[in-house]
Amino acid sequence: MEDPGTLLSRNTAWQVALKKKICALIVSITAVSVCRAAPVVVDCCAGVEAVAGSPAQEKAAHEFCKLACLKISSFEHLFGLQRGRTITIHVCSDMRDFYKRCKRPWFVGAALVDDEIVTQPVRSLRKIENHEALVTHELVHWIVRRAAGRGCPRWLDEGLAQWLAGQKSGLSAAHACSLPRNGEDLRRLDGKLGARDLGRKDLKRAYLTSLLLVDRLISAVGFIKLVAALPQLKTVSDPWQVRIVGKSLGKLIFEGI
């Protein structure tokens, strides 16, 4: 007599094989992937969750989780933040999933969407990014948002993320960028950083300009004083009213550095 368990597993195996065939057929006919494997939640640490969009992304989700866990406490401490919030890292199953979740072009490896770091699938990331810098960069955006609210100018946010992620190798190239000379130039820079349709070259240039500005600001006032001033951005109506070492941010940017 056949064991019901065996019968069940045979049935399951048969059903799975049939499902795979039907999925492959649907995908080949419609080019729509409706049959993706379910996301996998990865064991992480306090304050960080990681999700692999498919089993193939599980190893990357573990790696990104470890990287974020190593940094999160020191960043929260550095920016004077209370613990208790959780960031989720979502490694997308494929590029279609990535575009859907964060609407960024292929040359952007990851993005912060609310409390979630969305990354490209690991196969795509191997070509374009250093994983540690990628995770740290997005983690800094999350930390800066918590410290400064949504009023933080993009150039300051992007500059800090690159500076803390050790992406300073572009600094020598950044010197070739013309620095903003007034508030209008800075607003234009922020517009470029937030644009979804900017080309790779122009976006890279905007990033380098942000890095150079922040690097100069840090040289002038020190990293600790700059970070300590960030919470002012939650209350001031104009970022230029933020004061660091007795000077307004506007004065420091256009006169002091």
- Between 58 and 210, CB nearer to Zn ion: 210
Whose CB is nearest to Zn ion?
161
Minimum distance, C-beta of residue 27 to Zn ion, in the bound complex (Å) = 33
Q: Which residues bind Zn ion (CB under 5 A)?
A: 158, 161
- Between 155 and 239, CB nearer to Zn ion: 155
Minimum distance, C-beta of residue 132 to Zn ion, in the bound complex (Å) = 15
Read off the DSSP letter of residue 5.
Answer: H
Minimum distance, C-beta of residue 204 to Zn ion, in the bound complex (Å) = 12
| SS3 per residue for 142-207 | HHHHHHHHHHCCHHHHHHHHHHHCCCHHHHHHHCCCCCCCCHHHHHHHHHHHHCCCCCHHHHHHHH
- Between 65 and 152, CB nearer to Zn ion: 152
Minimum distance, C-beta of residue 189 to Zn ion, in the bound complex (Å) = 14
| Tokens at 47, concatenated | 């304050």
* Extended strands (E) in the chain: 40-45, 48-52, 87-91, 110-113, 116-119, 243-244, 247-248
Minimum distance, C-beta of residue 59 to Zn ion, in the bound complex (Å) = 24
- Own/partner long-range contacts of 221-225 (Cβ < 8 Å, ≥24 apart): 221/245, 221/252
- Between 89 and 161, CB nearer to Zn ion: 161
- Between 58 and 158, CB nearer to Zn ion: 158
Cβ-contact 206, 173 below 8 angstroms: no
- Between 80 and 194, CB nearer to Zn ion: 194
One-letter amino acid of 140: V
Minimum distance, C-beta of residue 206 to Zn ion, in the bound complex (Å) = 11
Instruction: Report, in angstroms and rounded to the nearest whole number, the Rg of the chain calculated over CA atoms.
Output: 22
Name, in order, each residue with C-beta under 8 angstroms of 217's C-beta and a sequence gap of 6 or more.
159, 226, 252, 253, 257
